[in-house]
Structure 1
Amino acid sequence: MSLHSRRPSRRGLAALLSAGLLGLAGAGAAWSATATTATAAHRLRTCAVSDLYVSMGRKEGAAGSVYWPIRFTNTSTTGCALRGYPGVSALDTAHRQIGPAATRTGQSYSTVTLAPAHSVSAVIRTTNGPIGGPCLRTGTYLRIYPPASLEAVLVPASWTICSGNFQVGPVNTQGTF
């Protein structure tokens, strides 16, 4: 398991700079990738953890919920593909899991292709406070398994699961839940 900070590695920074996307990445404008057909996706390899810089987008609240996009940025020099849901759980400062892992929304998904220095996202959700039950203690990290990966990364992220509701959507190009 590797620990990611909010700053890209030298390799990731170089990839973002070479693509001219560093300033756009923070604003979400670099969230570009394409959905592909099954045939085209079979030609591309699945993105490995070593290909990805995993970071958090901007937290937003709406209709009693808190939404937070997880960004997967391709820091390699070749394209790769992601399909499905990431695994996500909240951890405390000692890296112990707080509550259950996020459940999947059940939303349909397609394979997304990431060109070098491009990003896609998956959105996590909980309720905005104790609406139907108590809130758990606030986590310090999110443990994130990219889709189809058995290796996780730790991302510093303050996250509180409330009302027993913790969901994750599939990786997609629109940044939607």
Structure 2
Amino acid sequence: MYRPGVTRRFRPAPLGAVVLSVLAMATACGNDSAPPPSGPGSAHPTGAASDSRPATGPSPAGTSAEPSVPGTTHAGTPRCTRGDLGLSLGRVSPGAGNLYAPLVFTNTGSGACTLRGFPGVTLLDGTGDRIGAPAERQGETYPAVVLTSGDSAYAALHTVNEGVSDEPCREPADRVQAYPPGSTWALRADARGFTVCGGVFEVSAVRPGTGP
């Protein structure tokens, strides 16, 4: 009870209570700069990835395709080689100053094989020497041709009639030599009656059949 004229004295708080109070205030202030939680579902403050490992991209080309086996096509059918094939040159057909002849590859084996692309073609004289430069590729590449036993595919040889240009004709051919597409071994066939003129000697990619 307050009494006039009497000075009231306050007892100081214990030292331990003061220390606890200061620590509590420091802890409360420090919570504003605490790092965000890092558990599942927590957001990264910058939106950046949480690790530096490179992202996993698509599988390298060819990893899901068939093994890269020499002589094997994408369908798993072996590529036709010289041992599987016979070669012949069909009848020469004229048309508007041009001459065409089908170069025919026939599967002479017992199993299926595949041809796709351009053959390498040269003309030979009676002694086996090459006549002029090899045929140049002309036109697009057609889809692969699967040849069962006895089936054929052909590539068209093209030249022009004599007199179409001032460039003279080559020596008449005795034989034609052809490398099947993708092969390093050649076949030969009779080519008598085929002569390159006007500096034009072209070959198409193979397609099904024995000619147009």
Q: Quick check: 1:119 aligned with 2:152?
A: yes
**Distance change in 2, residues 1:142/1:102 (3 Å):** same
- CA drift of 1:42 comes to 3.1
1:102 aligned to which of 126, 135, 140: 135
Superposition TM-score, scaled by structure 1 size: 0.74
Residue 50 of structure 2 corresponds to none
Letter in 2 for 1:91: L
2:205 corresponds to 1:156: no
Q: Taking every aligned residue pair, what percent have the same amino acid on both sides?
A: 36
**Coordinate RMSD, CA, aligned:** 1.9
Of 162, 172, 176, the match for 1:142? 176
Out of 52, 57, 74, which is 2:85 matched to? 52
Counterpart contact for 1:60–1:66, Cα < 8 Å: yes
Find out whether 1:170 has 2:205 as its counterpart.
yes
How much does 1:106 deviate?
Answer: 3.1
* Partners of 2:152 and 2:209 within 8 A in 1: no
Q: 2:117 aligns with which of 76, 80, 84?
A: 84
Q: CA deviation at 1:56?
A: 1.5
Gapped runs of 5+ residues in structure 1? 1-37
SS of 2:75's partner is helix
TM-score after normalising by structure 2: 0.62
Distance in 1 separating the partners of 2:206 and 2:94: 20
Structure 1 residue 110, shift from structure 2 partner? 1.3
**Larger fraction in strand:** 1
Matched residues in 2 for 1:139 and 1:78: separation?
A: 33
Give the paired residue count.
Answer: 140
Shift of 1:127: 0.3
Offset at residue 41 of structure 1 (A):
4.0
| Larger gyration radius, structure 1 or structure 2 | 2
Q: CA deviation at 1:153?
A: 1.3
